[in-house]
Amino acid sequence: MILDRGLIVTLADLVAYAAKTALPSRPDPELAFYKLIQSTNHVAVRVGWPDFVVFAPDGNLKALVEVKRNSAQTLPAHQELVLRGFAAFSIPCFHWSPDGGLVKVNEDGTFESASMNCLGVDTP
């Protein structure tokens, strides 16, 4: 994968970085989301904000995901604006909570329920 400024990043590089940043600092919904993604051999890189950048096993970008403690906790306006901006560039953007599941953030500011299958995670 070639990133901006000609930087070449391999899947091994991503896995190594993910291992360094693997577990969220708080034992909360971020840890649950991380374990869901890692269980499918995808790579979840914790970057701070958004909480996770998810890569498929082949190194392709799957999504940007902001994790919330519960479905009542909404995206602040600045987070929604940035995710909408990324969505405008066809980058899949979501927010996730243990009780609300995955919610897609669309470019026009609408939200829609999404299946974890779109991230490569099979759920019962």
- pLDDT > 90: what percent of the chain? 47
As given in the structure block, the two tokens for residue 111 are 């939200």
Instruction: Please state, in angstroms and rounded to a whole number, the distance separating the CA atoms of residues 72 and 13.
Output: 36
Q: Reply yes or no on whether the pLDDT at 84 is more than 90.
A: yes
As given in the structure block, the two tokens for residue 82 are 């940035």
Helical segments of 1-124, H only: 11-20, 29-38, 77-88
- pLDDT > 70: what percent of the chain? 77
Domains of the chain: 4-119 (3.40.1350.10)
Instruction: Give tens-digit pLDDT for 18-74.
Output: 555 555 455 578 888 888 888 888 888 877 788 999 998 888 899 999 999 999 999
Q: Reply yes or no on whether the pLDDT at 98 is more than 90.
A: yes
CA 78 to chain centre: 17
